[in-house]
Amino acid sequence: MLELSRSNGGWRLSYGGDTFNAALYMRRLGVPVAYLTALGADSFSDDMRTAWQEAGMDMSLVLTDAARLPGLYAITTDAAGERSFSYWRSESAVRRLFGLPGIETALAAASTASLLYLSGITLSLFSATERNTLISLARAVHSNGGLVAFDPNYRPSGWPDAEAARTAMRDFSPQMSIALPSFDDEQKLWEDATPEDTASRYLKWGAREVIVKLGGQGCLVAQGGSSWRLAAAPAPFVVDTTGAGDSFNAAYLAARLRGLDTQAAAAAGCRLGSLVIQHLGAILPASILMDSILE
């Protein structure tokens, strides 16, 4: 989506969105990434295509809805850097993704991915029938030997009600190889008492590994019959927490794809999340190097 964030008394225009943020950070960490979405035929969409291509992302799965525009959101932050969002996306191009020319070819290509990553916001964009298409895509990825990573990323404004969100996530849950929930979201949606409750639910649903993000408290990692906590990486100051969870996910997944174990991957996630919250917006300036994130 188009992203507006306050800067020097005005507004700065950029691009963001939870799965996009993770995709771009994974690309910067050396992972080949293709992004499946839909944009319009307008100048803003053209600018996004150009920027994504320059970042090295595979654009072959980006479809076009000439009758619609990309979504838009604005970020406001409080004195502690905690963010809130305003959205204009009910008529965005991606809402008609599964009806656009080229979608069957795109889904076939996506089914061969070594890793498919999506979120609860992804599920919220589509009807129950369209979500079944995503479930079929995830099954195909599994059948082809790939993994499916999922961040529930519950945003109440995207759902008719909480039960609709719970139903959609339960339906998708058998497809999760890696679950990346945030405890704050899980408390809102499921009334979890502890991060361990969150991890237990996703493990029971079949996830192989669960990483519960705890904001400034780090994360809880659960795999098999064991779990442990990892402290957050130090941040000298906090400017904007937008994109912290998405960047954590990106570094975690990039580390796992590189062969690092879950503890080392979680540490990488904490390092990148700590770096991101020291800057405005979801995406770090390209000039900031991330060579040490996966060490």
Q: Could you confirm whether 197 is annotated as catalytic?
A: no
Active-site residue (options: 42, 240, 246, 291): 246
CA distance 138 to 119: 12
Report whether 211 contacts 229 (CB < 8 A). no
**Residues 294, 163: Cα–Cα separation, whole Å:** 38
* Buried b or exposed e, range 240-279, using 16+ CB within 10 angstroms: bbbbbbbbbbbbbbbbbbeebebebbbbbbbbbbbbbbee
Whole-number Å distance between alpha carbons of 71 and 58: 21
CA angle at 64 for the pair 75 and 3, rounded to the nearest 5°: 10
Q: Which residues are catalytic?
A: 246
